[in-house]
Amino acid sequence: MDSRYYKPELSEVHVGFECEANVEGKWIPLMLQGFDCVEEYVKRDVYRVKYLDRDDIESLGFEYEKAYGKTTGIEGSYFKSTHKMNNRSCIWLDLDLDGSCDVTIHNNEDWEDRHTWFQGTIKNKSELKRVLKMIGYE
């Protein structure tokens, strides 16, 4: 399988889940609208999901800002939101590009004023959308 994709676990799948389905040997983009046959299709490896990447993040209203850590061996990218969250300052999303899918969502303030809304692993765009909704960014 292409290293940009993985096979989803059944526990990840939900209505609105974005993935690709193998239809007669071709991968077709799909947003799940219901659960008919989903369990069977997951077991049969009919679905694949793209790991979270820059295009996904930008499609959700973030602008690429800069890369960091190239000399440390841990690469990542900063993204700045294009609109404010709950009338607060813009939020920032840091993504480690070392294959871990570790994401931190914060306000990018100095240490004493810094607020982190999320820090953890986000594997795909659907999961990022759910986290952003939970923290009030829509």
Q: Rounded CA gap, 91 and 39, in Å?
A: 36
What's the mean pLDDT when you consider all of the chain? 80
Question: What tens digit of pLDDT does each residue of 67-106 get?
Answer: 665 554 445 677 777 666 555 556 778 877 666 678 888 8
Confidence of residue 61 (pLDDT cuts 50, 70, 90): confident
CA 99 to chain centre: 13
Q: What is the 3-state secondary structure (H, E, C) of the chain?
A: CCCCEECCCHHHCCCCCEEEEEECCEEEEEECCCCCCHHHHHHCCCEEEECCCHHHHHHCCEEEEEEECCCCCCCEEEEEEEEECCCCCEEEEEEECCCCCEEEEECCCCHHHCCEEEEEECCCHHHHHHHHHHCCCC
pLDDT for the residue numbered 117: 86
> Tokens standing for 20?
């690709």
pLDDT at 45: 85
pLDDT at residue 3 greater than cutoff 50: yes
- Would the pTM count as exceeding 0.85? no
Ranges of each domain in the chain:
5-50, 54-134
